[in-house]
Structure formats: C-alpha cells, structure tokens
Structure 1
C-alpha cells in the first residue's frame, strides 16, 4: 500500500540509499560466507570458505549490528525501499537475537549445518575449464581451516553447556565418516576432473588429489571430535524448548505465529487431508483404503518410468508444457525464466530440489533429482505435482521472477531475501493451484499431491509437538522421538529408512518442516483477504504478479505490503 509521501517505483528506478545499504550487505555476506556467494553465482569467492570459528561469528555479529544501525537511519525513497527496510531490518534483528541465544554454538544437524554446507559448496561450482578446477583445488585445501573453525565453535558451546542433541551428533558422525572413508566425495571429485578443453596439467591433477586428501582428513578430524568430545556431553533430549523454537520458527517463516493455535490447526488440517485421500481412493478403486489404492497404482505399468534417462526426459517435458501453457494463460512469464533445466543430481541422497539462476541467467534455474543407488523405477502419479512444486508455477517461477525483476529490486531482494515459509509455502500453494486449474484431474495425480500435502500437515503437528513437548495425541505422555517416528509411519507412504531420516531432520532442524504447510496457509489467507478487498475487481493473475514482483520476503512483510498494516 503506497504512502502519499513516497514516490511510486518505476521500471527505470534509480538506486536509493536503502538499496546501497542492501547491496553492501550482500557484498559483506559474500565476503563472510563464500558458500552463500557460490550459491548466488559470485564466483570470485569460490576458492575459499568463511571463518566458522567464534572469532568469525563475532565478526559477523559486528557487521550485522553496523548495517542495522545504518539501515535504521536511512529514509525510504519509495515503496520498494519500505519493503526492503522492513524485511532486512527484521532479518538482522532476528540474527542478533539468535546469536544472543548462542544458536551457532549448537549448529549441528543431519541436513543443514556447517558439516553439510562445507561439503555441498562444491556442488554448484563451475567445472568446465582448467581455471575452474584450479579454483576447486584451492577450496579443497581450504576445507581443513573451515572444519577446524567449526570445531572451535562447537567446542565453545561444549564449554558453555550449549550443545546439540546426541541423536544429531551420532548422525553427523556417520556422515563425517562417509566424507573421510574410501571413495569419499572429495576423492571422487578430484578423480573425475576433466575440463572441456582437454587434459588437466599434471601439476593441477596432483594438487587436486593432494587437497582432496586434506579435505577428507579434515572430516576425519571432525568425526573424531564428534565421537570423543561432543557425543559424551551432547543433550539427551531432542526438544529445543519454546523460546528457542520461537526463534527458529520466525527464521523460517519471517512471521510470528501462535504456536499453540498452529499446532491445533495442524491436527485439523491433517484430518482434512486424510478425508480427501480416502475419498479419492474410493474413486480410484471402489471400496479400497488409501493404502490399497496406492498399491493398486504402484502396479500400473502405464504410470511407471524405467531408468534415470526416462525420468529426466519426463521431468523436462512436463516442465516445458507447464511453462508454455501457464505462460499463455495464468502468469506473465519473462523469456529469461522460460528455460528450466531438469537434471539428475550427481549425489544419491533421495531428495528433489531446485537451485535458482545466477543473477545474469548464465546459469539457469535447475530442478535436481537425487536418485538413491539402486532405484530404477519411478511412478509418475506420485511425482507430477513435484515437478509443479519445484518448477512452474512453484519455485522456479517464484525465484526466477525475483531475479528477473532487477529494474526494481536490489541484489539482496532478488537473491537472498525471503524465507522457507515464503518459498515452500508458495510451492505448496502452487500445487493446489494446479489442481484448481485442472492439471490434476486424474484422481491418481491428485492422490499423489495429497500424499505430499498430508506429510506436510503431519510435520506441523510432529515438529511443534516434539519441540514444545506437547501431550501425545494418544494421551499417554509427551511427544518424543519414538512417538514421532511411529506417527510419521502412520501418515506417510515411504521407505522406512527415508522416514527415519525425515524424523531425524525434524528433530535437529526445528521450525523448518512446518514452514511449508504454515506458509501455504498464510499464502492462501492472503489471497482470500486480497480477493475480499478487491471484490469484483479481483484478478488472481494480478495477485500473483504483485506478490511475486516483491521477490522473497518474510511472510509478515508480504502481508503488510499486500494488505496494508493490520
């Protein structure tokens, strides 16, 4: 909502003081966290890591305080500035509150902590030229200092009694051993070095092999620290408690929610998903239960793909169709983001994920499927909605649109702002939107969509239940890891090893899993409120355009920008 005292933004909008502060903050973050730079395509920092030691954290805290003070003094020049100042200030304040709570000293979990970030930094690095491999060799050598700094931070937490849960330590210990064992990732990376222009110089190949060994030894050191020092002192309890959970929840949503009300809503939403599934199962196979309908579909050869080549081709064709059709009807899709590459990931961890384009679109948006070893069959009815979730109208449209909108949005707004609740909430919203638009008219495809939606609703209940130690739904004691595992087994149709990993993820990454479904809830509430305000003038296309043109923002900022102050 525009303020009369501010000028409206234009397509050739000049850079403002607020923009300059945000741009400098991006440069600061890239300098302090080079892995973040790699993710957004800032290749000048690809040869190193940030300082993960307590001194490095203090440096970032000081930088955060400084930019927050500068931003507080800045006067917005237009509505774009108002959004930037509101959202960036909120993020900076939350970072300082999290640091005060010592969260970085227990930052260890099975999926999103420095242990994984260091290894994953290599996944998006260019590999086409000899110069690219020279950069990789330097970053391999830098793994040792990064791991050493991380150990110092965890050791500080150990001295102060701020420690992760023992379950997370045990799982990361296994991951660290994998990164230091035979045929580890680093050795494999060095062995496959092959630039497009021909053979590597012998000296560079030797550097790669030696530095890969150094990186492997660093993870061996981390494993020894976890086993001998941290595990014996780690917390027995998985729950982080209400105060810490509230910080985590705000981080992933960019919104403050009533945790108790959200828990009760999650229970109701889960029940609704179950009833929808049961009704569709009846359509698929009269008289069948959900599990019987799933078993029936799993035997349908017409809905199967064989081999990763077929999977990749199906993903690409499905994505291309969605881009072409939706771009002609329901969304304004710029030419730059009509390209989405669907790829089989080089890892085998089982996830499906999206990586955004670089700021100049030299690296396009990409949808990745990490296929576990030995898996050769794929069911299209399960995964059709996944392509829409990761691609168009999901993550690719959302993130690509923000990158495209560089005439109005500074780099922070285009590439770094936003939350899981904004991004993943939009992607779940997009799944339901595709149902509304007729792309899931096949009951089997709708059942596949609901399978994922039911899991996301279950995660709201589980995550809040465990970390706030709510009473079990069965009434016999409080939520704990064992009950969480059994609860997930009852509500998802997945391999048990995957379910175990998922539960461990929720236990160690509080607040993240609920952000999908809670984010979807907020997106749907915003659309309904926007429709009510606009009345007969409401246009879904216009709502989507206005919302996506903002780029990534916290959900509280999204609400206040689209609807005005509460």
Structure 2
C-alpha cells in the first residue's frame, strides 16, 4: 500500500522542479536541507529516480536527451519494498529535526501531514503482505501491457530498441512479482477462488493470442507507423524482434503466473473477507484507518451504513410515490420500475451519444456561472467533457476525472462512459457531472494543483476520504443550491448517495462480519436496483480493495457535520464561501486535520 502511494505521489512532480532548477547543490545533497520544502520535494524526487517507469510516464528527461531509463522496468522484488520501509525511519528523523518554531504555519501543516503518512507506513508494515498483487482489477499482468501501450513513446529507432529491451526485462519483473506472491502464500495469504479464476482467464487469453495480434506488438507497430524518423527497413527489423521477444520472454513470463495460479487454485476457497487471513481483522482495521482517516471500527461503519440506507431509501420512495409510481411492493420493485421507464434514456445511436456529451457540458456550464454565492475560490484551469475511448469503454467505470496538465496545456476532463446507453438515464446526469466535474473533483483537484507555495506532497496527497468525500458532498450541495429542482434529478442524487451508503454495509459485511460474496451481491442488488453484472463487479472490487469504498460516505458526512457546526456557532456570520475556502485551500488532508482547520476558522470568525 505504501509503495503504491509513493508512486502516485511522483506523477506530475519532476517537470517543474528540475526545469526550474529549484534546488542548489547543497539542498540536493545535504542530509538536512536548509529549506524545509526543499527536503519534502527532494525526497519525492529521489524516489522518482528509482522508478524508471515513473520517469517514462513523466517524460521530461527525454527532452534533455536522456533515455536510458526507457530500457528498464521497475524493481518488483520484495527486497525493493524492504528497502523502502527501511528508508522511512530516516526520513521521519530528518522531518522531526525541523523545529516547529522555525516553520511557518503552512509548513507546520505540511510537516504534520507528512508525519501522518510516514507513521501510517510504519504502522502498516506488519500488514504489507495483506493484499492480492495480481487480481481481476489490477496487477502486473494487465498493468505492464497498459503501461507499454500508453506510456512508452516511440519516435525513433532508439525508442523502439528501448521498447524491445523492456519486452526482454518483463520476465525478470514477473519473476520478482511472483516471489512476492509466494511470500504471501507462505504466510497463509491466498486470494479467493474467483480472483484466481478471473486472472487465469485473463492471462490464458493473453498468451493464446498470436504474437502479431498481441497489444504489445500492435501498439509498437502503430507507434512505428507514426514515427517519421524510422525507415521501412528498420520498422521490419524492429517488429520482427518484437514478435520474437513476445514469444521468448513475454509469454514465458505469463506462463510463470499461469502455472502458479493453476497450482494454488485447489487450495483456494469461496470465503472472500479479510477475516479469514492471519491477523486479518487488524489488517482490515488498518485499511479502514488509511482510507477513512478515522478510528471508526468496522461495526461503527456497518451501523452507519444500515442507518443511511434506510433513510435514503425512504426519501426516494416518497418522491416516487409523489410522482405516481407504485411503491407498495417495496424499494427494489419501485426503483426497477423507474429504471425501466424509456422516457429517461437517449436514443441508442451516435447521435444520441453526441447529445449526451453536449448535455453534460451544458450542465457544467450552467453550474459554473451560477455558484458565486457558494465559492470565492475557483480553479484557473478549464473543464471539458469527453467520451471514454471506445476501445476500453466496456471495462471502464461509468465516469472518471483527469486532472489538467501542470503546464496548462490541457484542461481538466470529465470522461463519460457511453458504451451502454441504459447506463446514462437523464436523471443521473446532473449528479455525475457535479461529482466528477464542477464543483466536485475538478474544483478540488485543480485548485489543489494551483495552490502556491506548497510542497507537492500537499498538492497530490492521497486522502480518499477527503477527495471522494468532497465530490460526494458537492452532489448534495448542488441540490441545495437549486440545480436539481426536477424531482427525478433529486432521485438520481439520492441513488448515488445510496450506492455509497450500501458500500459501507457490504465492505464491512464481507471483511469483518463474514458475509459471503453471494450475501453481499444479494444485499447490494436488493438495496440499489443496480444491474446484476454491475453489482458483481462492484462486490468483487471491494473484496480485493478492502476499506477503500467506505471512504466516500465517511468523508461526505464529516464535511456536512463540520459545516453544520460552523453554522450553529456562527449563525448570521456563517458564509458558505468562507467555509469552502477553508476546505479547499489546504489541499487534501486527513479528516481530523480538516476538523481542526474548520474549528480554527470558526474561532477566528
């Protein structure tokens, strides 16, 4: 978990720092730089230089003529993770050596947030193997080809030779990953059987594909065809080498995994929760703490979820009854009747999908010019709606947000999935647009990136309860501001909140209360009205990502609680714009720190 966190932090970091020559020689080499911010930013840069894949993704060294890292892959060995954990105490020691009295208020907060993350790294070390590195959602088996296709650029023969070198290096990378998986097996940590079935299906299909039809070959061919500086003779030679490397190195690497998972499959079972693992209850509590940034127990989160499910369903049923729907048979039947109503869907055609994008943009343009009463701070970066590329729509989520480019060359983007027209009822569109776009993720992420004078760890810190809590909060905020006056739009909002409340129940049900996968599927299906296939994929996501799905609702509820506290104390002096300034101007923070910041705002006001 901690290793993944550091990799996420690195993205977007180096371009500005190196290009601007931000550090003097002393600040780069000294054990303790004079400047506190230099210490924080330098630490992340040093981690970046140990990750050739991160350097490739950032793409800044190539402009300096440095390309050697593009021939290498990250060290995936358990030893590399050992080394990371060994570095944390030294980083913490240097961090604590900066006296609070010598730091500004902002730097003191940066120190506190960094310390929070370092201490979580220390606390989580005993549970570092409580995960399934290869699963149906993510892992080296699908991350590697995706990385090669999306991140490895080919504009010259040298670039292509580096690509070929990475095709050879994959066997070492997979062997290193397998060593980590086998360590987990020795510790009694095996994935549920459905995970093994999913990844075996994925990998056997991958290796059964003729090399010239494999994405690693076709992607290179496309890049070479677009590379003006590569002649036809070199293209033929390079593609022939790629085909050989796929057969000689890539497929044998996947065979390592296939053989392993086929061997362990008879020893796996249907139980899916963390409770079945050694110290699984402690590992799950650590995951809840990381994702929610609270000390809530699984029982507390479960009960919150049950209470919220009942409240939200009652509100939805009241609206449906008022709109003439039959609610006498209960929630499940009533919500399915709504979903079956054809008046809420676009035409299943290219024209219908184009209209969806136009309507999404209209929704965002409308709220952007209509929320001056709620926001003083605004992102400078623009916002646009685009379709998720068709080649990956089928396996992509319903929507996601992509942050704007650091250099301002690309606006923030709300990607909408238009694969299944039935997945976009008109009454859900406003809520989704507010969550992913304005004033949800676009405001929070773009503003955070634009904050001046903050170290990068503050701009891109990984506090899910804050980031997703904010986006879910803005769904309700938009309704409060009058942007969802249509009662069916309000049902769309409540359905989205209900979905997050159900997550509290099923995540804790699976991992703490010993629910079976089937129990969780049945509960989510009955209490959301979602399609069976969507429910199955969601439940299977929670099984391999324990605790993550609980962060959304916990974060939203905390922001609402803090807003109500401020209103109650300040009365007529409460200004919603001031409250949002406090929440947005400090970047992502743990919820207890957010609470302290709001209390300070209340006291100062």
Task: Please report the TM-score for the alignment, with normalisation by the length of structure 2.
Answer: 0.79
For structure 1, which segment, 374-383 or 165-174, has the greater mean C-alpha deviation from structure 2 after superposition?
374-383
Secondary structure at the residue paired with 1:357? coil
**1:392 matched to 2:438:** yes
Q: Counterpart of 1:520?
A: 556
Q: Counterpart of 2:20?
A: none
CA 227–467 in structure 1, closer or farther in 2 if over 3 Å, else same:
same
Q: Counterpart of 2:151?
A: 125
Cα RMSD of the aligned pairs, angstroms, is: 3.4
**1:66 matched to 2:90:** yes
Shift of 1:380: 2.4
The Cα offsets for residues 76-134 of structure 1, whole Å up to 9 and x where unpaired, read as 41122222111221112222332222326643433244445434435753869559974
Shift of 1:422: 1.3
For structure 1, which segment, 554-563 or 36-45, has the greater mean C-alpha deviation from structure 2 after superposition?
36-45
Q: Counterpart of 1:556?
A: 592
CA 515–362 in structure 1, closer or farther in 2 if over 3 Å, else same:
same
1:274-313 pair list within 5 angstroms: 274-288=313-327, 291-292=333-334, 295-296=337-338, 298-301=340-343, 303-305=345-347, 306-307=349-350, 308-313=353-358
Q: Counterpart of 1:542?
A: 578
CA 140–499 in structure 1, closer or farther in 2 if over 3 Å, else same:
farther
Aligned with residue 254 of structure 2, among 200, 212, 220: 220
Is the Cα contact below 8 Å between 2:436 and 2:442 reproduced in 1? Answer: yes
Shift of 1:167: 3.0
1:95-494 pair list within 5 angstroms: 95-103=121-129, 106-122=132-148, 125=151, 134=160, 142-182=169-209, 183-193=213-223, 198=228, 201-202=231-232, 203=234, 206=239, 217=251, 220-221=254-255, 223-234=257-268, 237-241=271-275, 242-288=281-327, 291-292=333-334, 295-296=337-338, 298-301=340-343, 303-305=345-347, 306-307=349-350, 308-326=353-371, 330-335=375-380, 337-345=381-389, 346-347=391-392, 348-351=394-397, 352-372=399-419, 378-405=424-451, 407-415=452-460, 417-469=461-513, 478-494=514-530
Secondary structure at the residue paired with 2:223? coil
List alignment gaps of at least 5 residues for structure 2: 1-22, 24-32, 63-68, 276-280
Whole-angstrom CA distance in 2 between matches of 1:142 and 1:545: 48
For structure 1, which segment, 198-207 or 482-491, has the greater mean C-alpha deviation from structure 2 after superposition?
198-207
The Cα offsets for residues 345-387 of structure 1, whole Å up to 9 and x where unpaired, read as 3412140222223432334322223454x76874222233112
CA 448–185 in structure 1, closer or farther in 2 if over 3 Å, else same:
farther
For structure 1, which segment, 51-60 or 102-111, has the greater mean C-alpha deviation from structure 2 after superposition?
102-111
Shift of 1:171: 2.3
The Cα offsets for residues 156-211 of structure 1, whole Å up to 9 and x where unpaired, read as 22223233333323323333334444355434433443676758544356266566
Is the Cα contact below 8 Å between 1:341 and 1:364 reproduced in 2? Answer: no
Structure with bigger gyration radius: 2
Secondary structure at the residue paired with 1:340? strand
The Cα offsets for residues 439-480 of structure 1, whole Å up to 9 and x where unpaired, read as 1111222212222211111110111122112xxxxxxxx522
The Cα offsets for residues 372-411 of structure 1, whole Å up to 9 and x where unpaired, read as 4x76874222233112111111111111111111x22111
Is the Cα contact below 8 Å between 2:141 and 2:254 reproduced in 1? Answer: no
Whole-angstrom CA distance in 2 between matches of 1:48 and 1:327: 50
Secondary structure at the residue paired with 2:401? strand
Whole-angstrom CA distance in 2 between matches of 1:504 and 1:165: 10
Secondary structure at the residue paired with 2:274? coil
Is the Cα contact below 8 Å between 1:353 and 1:369 reproduced in 2? Answer: yes
For structure 1, which segment, 161-170 or 446-455, has the greater mean C-alpha deviation from structure 2 after superposition?
161-170
Shift of 1:25: 2.6
Q: Counterpart of 1:19?
A: 37
Shift of 1:41: 7.0
CA 377–421 in structure 1, closer or farther in 2 if over 3 Å, else same:
closer
For structure 1, which segment, 420-429 or 545-554, has the greater mean C-alpha deviation from structure 2 after superposition?
545-554
Whole-angstrom CA distance in 1 between matches of 2:581 and 2:287: 29
CA 21–420 in structure 1, closer or farther in 2 if over 3 Å, else same:
same
How many pairs align? 542
Whole-angstrom CA distance in 2 between matches of 1:362 and 1:114: 31
Whole-angstrom CA distance in 1 between matches of 2:202 and 2:436: 26
Is the Cα contact below 8 Å between 1:53 and 1:149 reproduced in 2? Answer: yes
Shift of 1:505: 1.0
For structure 1, which segment, 264-273 or 525-534, has the greater mean C-alpha deviation from structure 2 after superposition?
525-534
List alignment gaps of at least 5 residues for structure 1: 1-13, 470-477
1:51-90 pair list within 5 angstroms: 51-76=75-100, 77-90=103-116
Whole-angstrom CA distance in 1 between matches of 2:125 and 2:82: 9
Shift of 1:43: 6.9
Whole-angstrom CA distance in 2 between matches of 1:126 and 1:318: 36
Whole-angstrom CA distance in 2 between matches of 1:256 and 1:294: 37
Whole-angstrom CA distance in 2 between matches of 1:127 and 1:376: 36
Secondary structure at the residue paired with 2:400? strand
Is the Cα contact below 8 Å between 1:356 and 1:396 reproduced in 2? Answer: yes
Shift of 1:433: 0.8
CA 533–328 in structure 1, closer or farther in 2 if over 3 Å, else same:
closer
For structure 1, which segment, 384-393 or 232-241, has the greater mean C-alpha deviation from structure 2 after superposition?
232-241
CA 155–377 in structure 1, closer or farther in 2 if over 3 Å, else same:
closer
